[in-house]
């Protein structure tokens, strides 16, 4: 596991209440600030978040080319099912469901760390 990224803000977007609450709990106990939404686009300013965990079922198939979604370059961790086509969201980091061990937590930390400015 990577070292914790301090002060990271996450947006979890998932229509399924159990998945949404489980993800929020996972990140909150790991000291992330978490906001949740049931759908895309959410009712919050997405630019304020360091990463967006987006369940593929939260986005209508026709909305994958949405300008707001495309503008979140290198911030989206897309949760995709193992059955069916993978959604075409450019620059999304893909994680397949079911979520096992700390894979998602590690991936979120890696995405945030890669986007953080170097301290050199």
Domains, in order of start, for the chain:
9-115 (3.40.50.2300)
Mean pLDDT value across residues 107-115: 86
pLDDT tens track for 64-98: 557 788 788 789 998 988 666 666 676 788 888 88
Tokens of 28: 């909150």
Give the Å distances, CA to CA, from 60 to 4, 15, 25, 34: 33, 12, 26, 23
Closest alpha carbon to 16 in 118, 99, 112, 90: 99
At 110, is the secondary structure helix, strand, or coil? helix
pTM: predicted TM-score of the whole model, two decimal places: 0.82
49 and 75 Cβ atoms separated by less than 8 Å? yes
Structure confidence at residue 62 as a pLDDT band (50, 70, 90): low
């Amino acid at each position: 596991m990577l070292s914790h990224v301090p002060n990271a803000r996450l947006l979890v977007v998932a229509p399924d209440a159990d998945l949404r609450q489980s993800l929020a709990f996972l990140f909150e106990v790991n000291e992330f600030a978490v906001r949740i939404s049931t759908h895309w686009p959410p009712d919050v300013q997405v630019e304020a978040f360091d990463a967006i965990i987006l369940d593929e079922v939260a986005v209508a198939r026709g909305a994958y080319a949405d300008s707001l979604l495309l503008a979140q370059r290198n911030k989206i961790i897309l949760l995709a099912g193992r059955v069916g086509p993978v959604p075409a969201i450019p620059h999304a980091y893909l994680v397949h469901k079911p979520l096992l061990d700390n894979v998602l937590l590690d991936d979120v930390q890696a995405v945030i760390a890669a986007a953080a400015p170097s301290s050199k």
